[in-house]
Amino acid sequence: MSNLKELLLKNAIEAREKAYTPYSGFKVGAAVLGESGKIYQGANIENASYGLTICAERVAITKAISEGEKRLKAILVIGDTAKPISPCGACRQFMAEFKIKTIYLANLAGDIKEFTLEQILPYYFTLEKEEN
């Protein structure tokens, strides 16, 4: 396993323990790498009004951007699932907004899969004009 993947995994596992999940009990952690080299952690935060729940991926990305990161290089997301966890559509689009090219999806059993943004969300929305 690469040093980057190991470091992101360690941070995502640590973040997962901070999750606020009184309703589902389903904890998710994320770690995103900024171009500066700093890693930002995120955990899912539930709300009694489920629509207001915030996913771990968006927490980590928001922390990075709000602290001045302009470019994000990689993210690792981990949950207690049979297969590596799969981000929701909103999180996939959030990853697209900030052009995160390397996406690792993991579970607590040690399975980690690597994907590109285009693999997990083909034809994502963008402000960039497409050439026909």
End-to-end CA, the chain: 40
d(CA 39, CA 34): 6
Residue 3 among known ligand-binding residues: no
- Name the pTM for this structure: 0.93
Q: What strands, in cross-sheet order, belong to the sheet with 102-107?
A: 39-43, 28-34, 72-79, 102-107, 112-116
Residue 47 among known ligand-binding residues: yes
Judging by beta carbons within 10 Å of its beta carbon (0-12, 13-18, 19+), is residue 102 exposed, middle or buried?
middle
Residue 49 among known ligand-binding residues: yes
User: Given this model, what pLDDT does residue 114 score?
Assistant: 98
Residue 56 among known ligand-binding residues: no
d(CA 89, CA 130): 22
Q: Of residues 14, 17, 35, 57, which has the active-site annotation?
A: 57
Q: CATH classification of 3-118 is 3.40.50.740, yes or no?
A: no
86-104 pLDDT per residue, tens: 999 999 999 999 999 999 9
Share of the chain above pLDDT 70, in %: 96
43-67 pLDDT per residue, tens: 999 999 999 999 999 999 999 999 9
Is 17 an annotated catalytic residue?
A: no
Burial per residue of 48-75, b for 16 or more beta-carbon CB atoms within 10 angstroms, e otherwise? eeeeeebbbbbbbbbbbbeeebeebbbb
